Amino acid sequence: MKDTRFIVVEGPIGVGKTSLARILSKELNGRLILENPEENPFLSSFYTDRRRHAFQTQLFFLISRYRQHQELSQMDLFEKVVISDYFFQKDRIFAGVNLDSAELELYDQVYSLLNPYIPEPDLILFLQANTDILMERIRMRGKGYEKGISLEYLDELNQAYTNFIFHYSGSPLLVIETTDIDFVNNREDLDDLINEIKRTKKGIHYYVPMGRRER
């Protein structure tokens, strides 16, 4: 991990970003950066009425994520590995799904002013799962503000994530299909994934879990 100091774990809602980020921060003795969606006062209203509350919800997220990354940019990134459970540019993915054309134009003006000051990660871990699995995981974790997430919205968001990430070329990318891996409860799965993370230095790579390789 000598040259990999800033690792981002990204993917759609329910895919396991925070779980993996927490594990990696312990395994790699890294500094953990977590977004806090619960702090957004508009989020519950957004899931009740997306159209009415989308813009203020999105703007709050954009500003709070920017502030958090400003704190990150002031840290000594060479002191230890930094692991984040979100990618700043993910905010634009949500904006593209949720805002109408006039709102998106205004949002993009603000976004374009902030984005140049955000550090690029040394590695992005992009977690994937099909929408039905994501919905099942969301229901199992039982967060109150997520009860209003519909399968249609989640599927639209999942597709938007996939489209964005495969057109992104700013950082090395490791794509991880999470259906056949249990990095939370299976030590062998976790060790194998960490070894793959350490080997990924540039370009796009696709991680094949041990269970699939053995078939």
Q: What are the E-state strand segments in the chain?
A: 6-10, 31-33, 82-84, 123-128, 173-177, 204-207
List 206's β-bridge partners, or say none. Answer: 175
Q: Enter the tokens of residue 106.
A: 């205004």
Please confirm, yes or no, whether 192 is among the known catalytic residues. Answer: no
Decide: residue 132, CB within 10 A, 0-12 exposed, 13-18 middle, 19+ buried. exposed
Which residues lie below 8 Å from residue 165, measured CB to CB, with a gap of 6+? 10, 124, 126, 173, 175
Out of 85, 91, 122, 192, which one is annotated catalytic?
Answer: 85
Neighbours of 28 (CB within 10 A): 18
Neighbours of 31 (CB within 10 A): 18
d(CA 119, CA 115): 9
Q: Active-site residue numbers?
A: 85
